[in-house]
Structure formats: structure tokens, C-alpha cells
Structure 1
Amino acid sequence: MFLKALYLVICAVGIALVYNAWKTAMEVKKEQIEEDIINAWEKHVVSPSVTFQNLHVGINSNVDLIIPAVALLKALTVPSGTKENRDVLNNVEDLRDTFAHFFAKGSAAERAFMNKKVFQRIISTAKMLESSQYYIGGNAALMASIISEQFPEVKINFVGPVGPKLLEMLPKSMNIPMASHIASDEVHLIMEYGVGETWGDLKSPVANRFITSYDESNSQATMLETFFETLDTSKTDLVLLSGLHILEGQSKDFFARRIQAVCEGLNEIPRSLPVHLELASMANEDFVKQILIKVISKVSSLGLNEQELAFASLAGDGPHNLDFHHQSGPPEMYKASDMIMWLLQHYGHSSHNRESRLTRVHFHCLSYHIIGNVKGAWANSAAAVAAGSRMAGKQACDVQQLNSSIVDLKIPKYFKAFSNDVEREFDPNNPVISWETNEFEFSLSPVLVCNDPQKTVGLGDSISATGLMFSQYLYASK
């Protein structure tokens, strides 16, 4: 009996040792894949022969109040409720239901608050949380700040509503016209959550954030005319525009008038000067359709994430448009490629639409990025998509240099890069995949997803800004 028990113990110990050895070997093998990607990116990320040196950036800026989402909801004594995607928020119940909708999907989203009194009460509660922090906010301000930090030699003229606190936080090297100064800061609430975090019966599949605000300056695009009036096209080689999404909280007539003002301003910019438009989360199909029809053909470059790409396809009756209603996490790569191709074909510069100036789309999501552009319009796109992907990991982990122990590769081993593609096996030593059609060319690179994200806000802006700064605009010479 003793010998039998001893034998069982020895077998159990042996199995445990073999399992631990196997597990260690698998972890080492996994980390080697990430290490191979990091090393390969170093070879791919090269600067273009001509770089952007003088930027004009606007028009949305604010102070971000960043707090843990679930902690705030508990402090507000809000239990988890029905998952329902509301276009705008009027009360705490709207916040609860809309947050639940995106929290369960793990998707980033932004919604305008329509009740100033309720929003101020929520902000007062948020400020009392020990973990609350203030940061630079607004897509335009974030893109300008990131470029100023990463490319200190670049000159930036920034136009947006800048209050006293934001002025203290923005880089001193940026030029901010006096017309941009406002008496008090606009504050946006950033509700962050981690992967696997629970709220009632709900569990987040990935780390992300939900944004809400009651913002008078940005929501009415008060700096729009100043943005175009202060643009000196003779001293600028790249224009960055964002903030149209915050107009969504306004009436249909007001939105139409501001979009018309955007179009008139863009029409005055010569085609030789590239204009990038960064989109953000919207929920009104009619408003998004207006941006698709009227605005994006007047810009050279477009930046957007999975929620914005899928919603644009839904609003414009593009490919895979019904996926928006049930999409959870990043779309399959070939679906994203199809939607990017659709944007370029229907709204971009092509043999069917020579008047459009849209020649580049940069799509970014948690696990991969794709840049699609018209052939001959942009150079260095493979390096740009690699640079953007690498920056995503760095910013999320809050490190200067990535290492394989803190990140994970999330794309499948076998995949299709585009709809008519054969199935490929991903090679970590060649992490940039490129292909082309008769008129367009594409570059794709995975993201190494941070295991313990330190900050999710501004990730898309950082990615788009980095990708732009590694891109070279050629269309002016055609």
C-alpha cells in the first residue's frame, strides 16, 4: 500500500514537473514571437525622405478628468442596468445603459451629455475619487501634444478652446493664438476600465474607455472660423482637423450649418497642402452620412477606429454594415480592408472621382492597423503603419521601449488580409504585410497589446499622429 501511494506521488510530481517545463517552454516561445516583431519593427520604421515641419492643428481641446469607470458608478450608487446605445445622454440612467452597452463589448465610445446640472453633479463626484487625474484632452490637442513631444523640431500652430488649466499643461513650444483662449476650461469625463473588470453581471473583454461631456465651446465648434482664418497656407505643410463628432449633440440644422462652414474652409485650402481628418465616436447615422458625403472628399487623409469604420459603413451602406450591431472587439482583418477599400472607392480620389482629394485612410484597432492609400499619393506607408502599431503598445504600457514580457500578439496565426486573399500564416519576422490593387495599396501591421494598460485615452490620436509623421505626401507633385 505504501509503495503504491509513493508511486502515485512520484507520478503526480513527475506530471507537474513536465507540465511546468512545457508551460515555461510555451511562454518562452510566445515571448520570442513578440520579441521578433519588436526587432523587425526597428528595421521597418524609417523616416520618409521629406518630413512635415510646420503644422496647423485644431479644433477640439479640453481638460480630461480620468477616473475608474466602475468606481464612479458605484460612488453614484448606479447599479448595472440594461445595455442600450443612446445617441445622447440626458440623465444618469442614460449614462448607465450606454456605458453598459460599450463596456460589455469592450468598445471605445463617446457621447454628449445634454443636462448641464446633472453632468456637473457627476463631475463633482468624480473629483472626489482618490484615483482621479487630469490630462490634456480633445483629439486635436492630444495629436498636437504627441507630435510636439515625439518630434520637438516640428512647429505647431494650435487653434482650439484653451482654458487656464489646459494652457498650463500644453507644451510651451506650441503657438496658441490669443483667439483660442477661453475663461474656464471645458472638462470631459473619461471613464476607464480594465480587461476582465466586472460591473454587476457584465464583464469587459478588453481594457478601454467611455467618454462623456457637457461642452459648449467644442460642441458648437466655436473655434472653427478662427482655425481657418489663422491658417497661413504658405507656412504650413500639414493640416490636422478633428472635433466634428462633438457637434452631434446639436440640432440637425445647427449641425448642417457647421458642416457647411467646414466645407467652405476646406475648399480654400490648396490641394498641394495635405489635410488629415481624425474621426471619433458618433451615434447619429444621418450626421455621419453628411460627413461621408460632404466632408471626407475634401480632406487628403482620414483616421478612424473599428467603431467609427463600422458605423461609417452602416451609415453609407458599405460592406459588412450590419456587423456594427453585433461586433464585439476588432473586426476580422479582411472585413476592415473591405471597408477601407469601399471608403477610397466611393469617396476617395479614383478614376471615377478625380475631384475628391481623399487619398489615404488609416484604420486602427486594438490588435492591428491598416493604412490604405491611392497609388502614388503617399510614400512610406509600410513604415508609417509599423510606427503607429509600435506607438500603440508604448503608449498603452507607458514605456519608452517595448519588451516581450509586457505585451501580447492578439491576431490569429492564420488569417486573410483582404476578402479575396488566400489564408496566410503570420510571420513575426515580417510584421508588415502589403498588397495592392489596380488603384490602391495597403499596409497592415499587428499591435502588441499591453498586458497591463496604464492609459487608454488618446491612444487613437497618438497612433494617427505617429503614422502621419512617418508618411510622405506625394500627390501635390502629380
Structure 2
Amino acid sequence: MGATSYLTLLTALSVFTALFAILYQAYLASNDLKKLTLILQNLKKLEQEFPVNKPRVAIGYGSCSDLYVKAVDFLNFTTSLEELLHQTSFNVDDINTENDFLQSFAYYFQRGAAAERFTTNKAMFRKLVTQAKKSFNAEPRWALGGNAPVIASRLAAEGADVMLGAKMSLKLKTHLNPDIHLTGSLIDDDDIHLILEYKTGDEWGTLRTPRANRYILHNDHHNPFISSLEELEQALPEFDPHLFVVSGLQMMDNFVYDQGVREDRIEKVCNQMQTQSSDTLVHFEMASFVELEFLQLLLHKIVPYSDSIGMNEQELDNLQQVLDTGKISLVADSNPRVAQSLDQARHVFKMLNEDYFKNYLAEKQRRLLSRIHLHTLAYQAILVVKDGKWNNTKNAAAKASLTAHRHVCASTIVNPDAAYRLLDDSFATSTEYGAARIPFSEHDPVSCWNETIAINDHKQLDVEICVAPVLICKIAKQTAGAGDNISAAGLILQI
């Protein structure tokens, strides 16, 4: 065979190999799409299985006006920033200058971790807001913000009768669902949150983020004082809610108060929780906290009077670290394995309920922690005490999963073509040796099982745990507010 024949054969083999690779990739993509479509169909069946019976839900506290920008387009990277961002000795949460802000943003951005931080520098914050409004390439947009209004809006859209404890301007109120009962009085100027959003793989200089997320900067002056509390207090008895949601307390984190002011306001929140009927379930929505003293105050005054806690993987890790070591955890794995997260959730559940049984006789207003909802990029995990007041756990996990996609994709439709799945084809229920391994099924995508968790030598609690895959949005349109929407969607089917 001559050289020309060899070249012809090699060319033919190369073309065949390339064509085979293309066809094989198309086959895999088609197979993945079929699986995602089947998962979606079965998640929707679970979501729609039970009607919502218009429960009454009261929610506090506060509101704000959110200004969204695309982070990497708003923060122009220059070579002079390179040395600044690679300094190792700086406090990522003490933000007094623009350099502090850039270093803090870079710290969380390169880890793909959500962050919400307060700055004491009012002039700098106003300058950044002004720049953001004019940064047209960063596509600035305004929206109703604050944990409480976002949760309220989602619950109202899902069919709940909602009362919201928040003060806002007349202009901001026009963005609120008119069916929501607003108890707070009108104010002239709203607190503003500057929200810097980024997508998976976004690059800022030499930094690249592993996942879509957001960094929030604020300089609030209304929310840190929970100024809507008293007006909500007056309306609560007549409303008689089935569920009371406490949120937005992170606005008090790292804020400088006169002595005793913060403790007094938290004490009033605590009293509001304690005076709720035993028939009213109480949910505490966690957030990003960086001040150890404040988180310990919440563990003493807020968590013991909560039936349920909602959080993401960063917040769960932070809570566990504080309980175990008395130290704050700034960031955690942004995409933790199921087994790792469930171990953390069990540990937090055990520790908080040990405290409940230890102190219940002395203080009967305390509540058993009977529900934990963990929302991550790849999955939703809900743990509830069996035979209690929380219903439809499997359905709630499915609804939370679908809501995650809808919110991040900014669409009411879940399109399998716009989604992908990170949850493995099987997962371990714990990192402990010999732990059960659960296979994932497209036909039954939400996995649920029963366990018994020993609280102490004399007490144990039977629990149900459900894990649902998230059909992750390929191109994230919005990440801020995702946790609030997800938590609300899970709650609406469980009360």
C-alpha cells in the first residue's frame, strides 16, 4: 500500500472517529434530556398532589429596595487590583472602604459562596449605588426586596392568606402583592440593598467562580431596628396565624448600636414568638451571619422558640461550627455531598433538641425543633419529626426543588433543555461506615426514609428525611431571593 493510500485511510478513520464522537455526544445529550423530562414530570405530580387550603401566615420583619447588577460588568477589573486581591491579611467582613469591599467580594466570589454584608461607610455605599444605577452595561434593575416581603410574595402567590410586618415607601408598596396585609406604616425612604450577581464560570480578573451566586452590600438604617415589630404585634392576635415566619434578622448583624438596644429588640422578637399559640407553627429563616456574639444571641433567644429552621449549606455549616466550637465559619463547600449535609443536619438537630429537653421544664414556652429544611444548589433536604404537625414532606421537597429552578431561571416554566442535574445516581445517607446507599430513580425522584435520632441517653426522636434533586438552571438569571422562595414553597405544602 502506497503513502497516498495510507493518508486516505487515516483521513477516513479521522472523519469516522469525529463523526462517531458527534453522534455519541448527541446520543448522551438526548438520553440526558429524556431523563430530565421524566424527573420533571414526576416532580410536578408530587407538587400538584395536594391542594393549598389557604393557610394564614404572618411574616416579619422589614423590607428594602433591591438594586441588581451583573457583578463582573459593574466591578471593572484593573491590573492595580491584582496585588490588593491577593493580600492574605484582611478582614472580609469589616467593610469601611472601597478596598475592603473589593477584597470581601473577591473572597466570596472565588468560592462561589453567598454573602450579605453591612458597611458603616454611608458615603461610599451611596457612591456605589449611584454608580450602579448608571452602569448600563451591568444591566441595573430594581425589585422589591427583603426576606420577609419575598417570602410573603411567594406564599401569597401559592394561595396563602399573608400578613407582612414591614415598613416601606408608597412607591415600594406598589410592587407588593395587593392581597398581602401590610401592617407597617409608610416611610419616606427605603433601605437599599446592592446585589452583585454572577453566573457559573464568570471571571473577574484572574478569579473564576465555581457556581452562580450573589454578594449583597447594604447600609440599612430601618431594618436593623426591626421597626415594624410593634405594628405587627398589634395585628397578630386577631389574625391568629397557622404559621409565623421570623426572618430578616441578619440586618442586625455587624451593626453598631447603643448599648443594650439590639438585645432589647431581640428580646421583643423573642416575646412575640413565645406568645404565639401552641397551634401556631414558628419558622426561623436563617441567613449569612458573621458576628459570633449576635449568632449566639439568636441561639439563646430565637432558635429555642422555633419549630422549624430553613438554611443553605453555608448557613448550616456556620450554625454547626458555632454550636461545636464557638467559632464562625466564613465559607463552606458550595456544593456539599448529600451524606455530609445530612450528617450536619442531624448533628444540629440533636444539639438543639438536647437543649430543649434540658430546659423545657424550667421554660415551657420552648419548642421542640421538629423541622429542618436545607436548600443547596444540587438538592433539597427536609428533615421532620414523624407524626407531628408537618405534613407532605415528600411533596414539599419536590415543590421546593421546582421553585429553585423557576426562580433562578426567572421563568414559571421548567424547561428540561435549560436544566442539568448534579445529584448522583446514588447517594449515601451518611459519611459513617456502612451507611445505607440510596439509588436515584427518575420515576420516583424524591427519596424518603425513616430514622431514629438519639437526642440523649433517655430521649430519641423518629424522623423522616426526604431528598429531592434540583433541576439546576443552566443560565442563572437571578440568585438573590432564591432561598426565601424555596423555603416558602416548602412550607406552603407542610402547614
State the TM-score, normalized to the length of structure 1: 0.92
Residue 369 (structure 1) aligned to one of 380, 389, 400: 380
Q: CA deviation at 1:7?
A: 1.4
| 2:133 equivalent to 1:113 | no
Q: Identity over the aligned pairs, expressed in percent?
A: 27
Which residue of structure 1 lines up, in the alignment, with residue 5 of structure 2?
3
Which residue of structure 1 lines up, in the alignment, with residue 443 of structure 2?
429
CA pair 49-452 structure 1, distance change in 2 beyond 3 A: closer
- Amino acid paired to 1:136: L
Q: Which moved more, 1:245-254 or 1:434-443?
A: 245-254
| 2:233 equivalent to 1:222 | no
CA RMSD of aligned residues (A): 2.3
| 2:74 equivalent to 1:72 | yes
- Amino acid paired to 2:490: G
Between the aligned partners of 1:288 and 1:77, the Cα distance in structure 2 is: 38
Q: Which moved more, 1:197-206 or 1:421-430?
A: 421-430
Q: CA deviation at 1:434?
A: 1.3
- Amino acid paired to 1:204: T
Which residue of structure 2 lines up, in the alignment, with residue 273 of structure 1?
280
Between the aligned partners of 2:176 and 2:280, the Cα distance in structure 1 is: 26
Q: Which moved more, 1:451-460 or 1:437-446?
A: 437-446
- Amino acid paired to 2:174: E
Which residue of structure 1 lines up, in the alignment, with residue 191 of structure 2?
186
* Contact 2:371/2:383 (<8 A) preserved: yes
Between the aligned partners of 1:76 and 1:357, the Cα distance in structure 2 is: 52
Matches within 5 A, 1:391-470: 391-420=403-432, 421-438=435-452, 439=461, 440-470=463-493
Between the aligned partners of 1:85 and 1:467, the Cα distance in structure 2 is: 36
Q: Secondary structure at the match of 1:286?
A: helix
Which residue of structure 2 lines up, in the alignment, with residue 475 of structure 1?
none
Q: CA deviation at 1:120?
A: 0.4
Q: After superposition, what is the alpha-carbon deviation per residue over 1:315-337, rounded to whole angstroms, capped at 9, x for unaligned?
A: 1117xx99946633122212211
State the TM-score, normalized to the length of structure 2: 0.89
Between the aligned partners of 2:46 and 2:311, the Cα distance in structure 1 is: 23
CA pair 461-291 structure 1, distance change in 2 beyond 3 A: same
Between the aligned partners of 2:126 and 2:60, the Cα distance in structure 1 is: 26
Q: After superposition, what is the alpha-carbon deviation per residue over 1:10-57, rounded to whole angstroms, capped at 9, x for unaligned?
A: 111111111111111111122222122111112322455773522212
Between the aligned partners of 2:194 and 2:78, the Cα distance in structure 1 is: 14
Q: After superposition, what is the alpha-carbon deviation per residue over 1:119-172, rounded to whole angstroms, capped at 9, x for unaligned?
A: 001111001011100011001010111222232xx3222111211331121112
* Runs of 5+ unmatched residues, structure 1: 473-478
Q: Which moved more, 1:350-359 or 1:434-443?
A: 350-359
Between the aligned partners of 1:50 and 1:172, the Cα distance in structure 2 is: 19
* Contact 1:46/1:470 (<8 A) preserved: no
Q: Which moved more, 1:230-239 or 1:346-355?
A: 346-355
Between the aligned partners of 1:85 and 1:363, the Cα distance in structure 2 is: 28
Which residue of structure 1 lines up, in the alignment, with residue 30 of structure 2?
28
CA pair 15-76 structure 1, distance change in 2 beyond 3 A: closer
Residue 40 (structure 1) aligned to one of 25, 28, 42: 42
* Contact 2:110/2:208 (<8 A) preserved: yes
Q: After superposition, what is the alpha-carbon deviation per residue over 1:420-469, rounded to whole angstroms, capped at 9, x for unaligned?
A: 42233322222111122232221111111110111111110110000000
Q: After superposition, what is the alpha-carbon deviation per residue over 1:205-237, rounded to whole angstroms, capped at 9, x for unaligned?
A: 011100011110002222222222321255422
CA pair 76-286 structure 1, distance change in 2 beyond 3 A: farther
CA pair 326-283 structure 1, distance change in 2 beyond 3 A: closer
- Amino acid paired to 1:384: A
- Amino acid paired to 1:415: F
* Runs of 5+ unmatched residues, structure 2: 361-365, 453-460
Which residue of structure 1 lines up, in the alignment, with residue 265 of structure 2?
258
* Contact 1:271/1:357 (<8 A) preserved: no
Q: CA deviation at 1:314?
A: 0.9
Q: Which moved more, 1:382-391 or 1:279-288?
A: 279-288
